[in-house]
Amino acid sequence: MTIDTAAPAVDQVPFSQLLREGSQAEHTEAETSSFMSALLDGRISRDGYAAYLLALAPVYDALEEVGRSLVGDAAAPDPVAAEVWDPLLERAAALAEDLEFFAGPDWRTRVSTDPAVTAYVDRLRHTASAGELFVAHHYTRYLGDLSGGQAIGRIIARTYGLVDGEGTAFYRFAGIEKPKPYKDGYRARLDGLDLSPARRAAALEEVKLAFRLNHEIFMALTKDIDRYLVTA
């Protein structure tokens, strides 16, 4: 048996460090997909970007539905989910605004039903069974949106000549004036979670899965990349 000596021990490092370092390979694979590479290079058409948002919409709907179900019971909220859940992070309404801009008022009739999207949504709904699984997806999506997502927002605005914030609501977090202090506080809350080694290990595996599910969506979009590429 080969032991990965680079992998952090699940009970010997801060939880946020475990999630970040333990999922680096999956993270890199997801963000270097052909579709994302072309998007970041400004070579994806508006229709292609709309397809990307149409794939994300069901994902955020499911994530936020599960989050509200886990913390919505004031008498017995899930204590792990409650530590990270914050309505300031929710993106579904912002996605709806951007989709109306890019895809028109009937965009809800065209949300992606690709098997990759369906698999991601199904897994998110499964996370209602354990707070640490929900936290893994919450961390993967929202810290990504507050980190690399900010750069993507600037690229989108530049690529499509957007002004005055049009079409980029997804990347704006009302109520979070400075992302870095917020992210630092979020990671501190993760590190303060009282989780057994087994639950920490389960969360790490779920983060890896989250990145793989993202990658599968990007691969589905890549199948149509010839339709979406903009040539100089």
Structural domains of the chain ordered from first start: 27-224 (1.20.910.10)
pLDDT digits (tens, 9 = 90+) for 96-124: 999 999 999 999 999 999 999 999 999 99
pLDDT given at position 74: 65
Does residue 22 carry a pLDDT above 60? Answer: yes
Total-model pTM: 0.93
pLDDT given at position 1: 39
Mean pLDDT for the chain overall: 93
What share of the chain has pLDDT > 70, as a percent?
95
HSE, side-chain direction, 13 A CA sphere, residue 44: 24
pLDDT given at position 59: 98
The structure tokens listed for 38 are: 């072309």
pLDDT digits (tens, 9 = 90+) for 160-219: 999 999 999 999 999 998 999 999 999 999 999 999 999 999 999 999 999 999 999 999
